[in-house]
Amino acid sequence: MSLQSAAFTVLPISFTISTQRNMIVEGDSENDQFQRGTRRKLPENEIFRSDELTEKFHGRVQEFFNHKCEVQFFMTWISTAESFGTREILAVESVFKAHPRGCLMILSRTLDSAQGHMILKPLLDRGFKVQAVTPDLPFLLKNTPAEDWFNDIKSGEKDPGGIPLAQNLSNLMRLAALYKYGGVYLDTDFIVLKSFKGLRNTIGAQSINSAKNWTRLNNAVLVFDMNHPLLYKFIEEFALTFDGNKWGHNGPYMVSRVVHRVEGRPGYNFTILPPVAFYPVDWIKIVRLFKVPSQQADPKWFEAKLQELNEKSYGLHLWNKQSSKLMVEEGSAMGKLLSEHCVLCNQICSS
């Protein structure tokens, strides 16, 4: 049975989905690394490599989550370890600010290294449960509708398309990890503002229409039980309709297509939260949070938005594709939010 926070009303799951391409922007921080000229793309043969680390994957996951975890979280990172920067660290810190006894597993070969350990060590030294683990993709996808798709991609029989394959594998990996283990998936450009402990089988709307019906969902935040049938449908849709040349087709557009089809069917119990829950500031306005408010209209918007975030939002998606090059200005809403939801709180205004 899906649960719902008392602060929200479940939106009706019945409407026509808009197909306008400009309504969706992928905001996954790790995927955004591939769009920056200063970041090096991880060779894709590294993604497919099997070795001792991948063989130990399932055992390491079970051992890690065997701790008494308040909530179990997943992130993915397929970029280089050195590109896991201050902003990503602050996103990780926000998880533990809201969930001191939570457990966060980062599915990443590059962070599952001596360099990655040093990046996470300040959090480990303070007793927080965070670990980077090299994923075993064949294991995660075994007995799922995407098993054959992955084998075809690996063998070269299926065209991966022009969009970096790592981005699409991240879209798939988050679904497979939740399907196998259950928990919460978060993008690495998502700042947690309050506890997810009361959420279950939940996805967030990115946009709604005037009738308050959603027009687009997003997959930057997913909260699901193990073996949930909606996750199975997401994985199935990914494999059946994969297109490596359309931005967002295998991510936010995909989850929107599936939910539109399964609405009202028996056996699919899940909650859709309105944009204020996970996407309270859209990708156009996110820039305003990084700047000090002006003397004209901005202060009113600034104060109203901060109040809304504090009262109604579980977190804030930073839409890294739009905001990754912005510095957090002292006195900005973003500076205030980050300083209130960090645990190490280093270099906030350089993030």
Task: Tell me the one-letter amino acid at 86.
Answer: T
The residue segments making up the domain with residue 254 are: 21-280
* In-domain check, residue 114: yes
Q: Looking at the predicted structure, is the pLDDT value of residue 48 above 90?
A: no
* CB-facing half-sphere around the CA of 24: CA atoms within 13 A: 26
Q: How far apart are CA 338 and CA 328, in angstroms?
A: 9
Question: Are the C-beta atoms of 2 and 269 separated by less than 8 Å?
Answer: yes
Q: Please, what is the average pLDDT of the chain? A: 87
Task: Tell me the one-letter amino acid at 302.
Answer: F
Question: Are the C-beta atoms of 245 and 163 separated by less than 8 Å?
Answer: yes
In three-state secondary structure terms, 219 is strand
Say what percent of the chain tops pLDDT 70: 85
pLDDT tier at 43, thresholds 50, 70, 90:
low
Q: How far apart are CA 231 and CA 144, in angstroms?
A: 10
Which H or E element spans position 192? strand 190-192
Q: Looking at the predicted structure, is the pLDDT value of residue 239 above 90?
A: yes
Encode burial over 94-128: b for 16+ CB neighbours within 10 A, e otherwise.
bbbbbbeebbbbbbbbbbbeeebeebbeebeeeeb
- Which is higher by pLDDT, 28 or 108? 108
Identify the CATH number of the domain in which residue 63 sits: 3.90.550
Q: How far apart are CA 328 and CA 96, in angstroms?
A: 21
Q: Cβ–Cβ contacts within 10 Å for residue 43, how many? A: 10
pLDDT of amino acid 121: 98
Strand-pairing partners, residue 184, are 73, 223
In three-state secondary structure terms, 181 is helix
* In-domain check, residue 317: no
Task: Tell me the one-letter amino acid at 324.
Answer: S
Going through 14-173 in order, the beta strands assigned E by DSSP cover 72-76, 103-107, 129-133
User: Hey, what are 206's tokens?
Assistant: 């990115």
* In-domain check, residue 312: no
User: Hey, what are 30's tokens?
Assistant: 């790790």
Q: How far apart are CA 218 and CA 220, in angstroms?
A: 6
Q: How far apart are CA 187 and CA 29, in angstroms?
A: 7
* In-domain check, residue 55: yes
pLDDT of amino acid 254: 98
* In-domain check, residue 330: no
* In-domain check, residue 140: yes
pLDDT of amino acid 44: 58
Mean pLDDT within 317-345: 91
Burial class (CB in 10 A: 0-12, 13-18, 19+), 26: buried
Q: How far apart are CA 318 and CA 29, in angstroms?
A: 9
CA 231 to chain centre: 15
From residue 188, alpha-carbon distances to 27, 205, 238, 271, 293 in Å are 9, 18, 21, 23, 26
Sheet containing 202-208, strands listed edge to edge, beginning at the edge strand earlier in sequence:
129-133, 103-107, 72-76, 183-186, 214-224, 202-208, 271-273
Q: How far apart are CA 190 and CA 318, in angstroms?
A: 6
From residue 337, alpha-carbon distances to 160, 322, 328 in Å are 39, 18, 11
Number of domains observed in the structure of the chain: 1
- Which is higher by pLDDT, 320 or 125? 125
Longest dimension (CA), the chain: 59
* In-domain check, residue 332: no
The reported pTM is 0.87
pLDDT of amino acid 35: 42
**Neighbouring residues of 242: CB distance < 8 A, sequence distance ≥ 6:** 149, 158, 168, 250
Residue 83: DSSP 8-state: G
pLDDT of amino acid 299: 73
Which H or E element spans position 223? strand 214-224
pLDDT tier at 157, thresholds 50, 70, 90:
very high
pLDDT of amino acid 294: 74
* In-domain check, residue 344: no
